[in-house]
Amino acid sequence: MNIPLRLQQLILLASALIHCNGLSSPKESLSRRDILFKGAAVTATAAISFIPRQEAWAVADKDFLAIDANVGPPERQNLLSKLGKVSDDEMEKLISKLEPLDPSQGKGATLDELGGRWELIYSVNAEAFSPLLNLPKPIRPTSLQLLGDAATQTVGKGRVAQVLNFPIVPLSLILSSGAVPVSSDSTTLEIFPPFRLEASFAGSKFQLVESGSDAGFRALNARDEDAQAAGRNMYKQRYLETTGKKGDLRISEVVSGDPVIVGRSLHSSTALINECYNMRFVMD
């Protein structure tokens, strides 16, 4: 079977993401498509090794013009004005000053305003999500998170999605999972399987990987036995603006589950490599 050039390009790019996250097909038999994936993974290994590795990642000021950094309390203005200009320790201090002013009043996981398309503008340990965020600007994907109705339209009801949209080529990589508010904690979402990695290319959508368990998905991501045995990921909404308008700001953190992305003490520098703050603004 001849594989169209565009589909080959899709497979090459998708396999790069899969390989750099330690993912592989669990099937023993190899189709021609599988062989192409595995061949591309070898190329991806060399390419990924040249991507700069960094613990924190912040988008440039000009890339999030939808946020008005001059409105809101001084703590908000100060945080946004320092984005990408100060150390990770200083960012933690700025975040901790804004968190008590949370407009959702500790109910972020249960409010309709959590729904939307949120763009990542700052993250500690972006490497835990994807080294592709450290690519040079001309080829770096934008990172979106879909929640609520926005997620339903793309990956189905009751699910959330992480989306990487690439420039130059019409390619998106979509990682989705189930999500539900924790009954005993209105700030936190529980993330659960099935986990699916899909690719959307030139209007066509392809499923690349699916796992029906946390342990199975972590095994595909080359996690050790302790990580595979850990509980489900708990995703805490630390700060959520609730105007429901473009430019709202949200700060979240994985507080338990997969130890590679779990957040720890906010004031411990030794925990920085394992913390995953996500600062996003709503696009629409």
* pLDDT in 10s for each residue of the chain, 284 residues: 444 454 444 445 544 444 444 444 444 344 444 444 444 333 333 333 444 444 455 554 445 545 667 788 999 999 888 887 888 888 889 989 999 999 999 999 999 999 988 888 887 765 555 667 777 888 888 888 899 999 999 999 999 999 999 998 899 999 999 999 999 999 999 999 999 999 999 889 989 889 999 999 988 888 889 989 999 999 999 999 998 888 888 888 888 888 877 753 222 112 222 234 455 555 55
Same domain for 39 and 94, yes or no, is: no
- List strand residue ranges (DSSP E) for 130-271, in order: 142-147, 159-165, 171-182, 185-201, 204-211, 234-240, 249-256
Same domain for 160 and 40, yes or no, is: no
Question: What number of residues does the chain have?
Answer: 284
Same domain for 187 and 245, yes or no, is: yes
Q: Is beta strand 249-256 parallel, antiparallel or unpaired with respect to 204-211?
A: unpaired
Q: Which structural domain, as residue segments, surrounds residue 43?
A: 1-50
Same domain for 202 and 181, yes or no, is: yes
Same domain for 126 and 23, yes or no, is: no
Same domain for 114 and 155, yes or no, is: yes
- Residue 181: which of 261, 101, 108, 281 has the closest Cα? 108
Same domain for 42 and 63, yes or no, is: no
Looking at residue 215, its pLDDT comes to 94
Q: How many domains does the chain have?
A: 2
- Residue 163: which of 208, 138, 135, 200 has the closest Cα? 200
Same domain for 142 and 44, yes or no, is: no
Looking at residue 139, its pLDDT comes to 85
Same domain for 39 and 147, yes or no, is: no
- Residue 230: which of 241, 243, 245, 219 has the closest Cα? 219
- Residue 197: which of 180, 213, 217 has the closest Cα? 217
CA distance 215 to 193: 10
- Residue 162: which of 149, 153, 151, 152 has the closest Cα? 151
Looking at residue 202, its pLDDT comes to 86
Looking at residue 235, its pLDDT comes to 92
Same domain for 61 and 192, yes or no, is: yes
Same domain for 2 and 137, yes or no, is: no
Looking at residue 91, its pLDDT comes to 85
Question: What is the helix, strand, coil percentage profile of the chain, to 5?
Answer: 35, 30, 35
Same domain for 24 and 94, yes or no, is: no
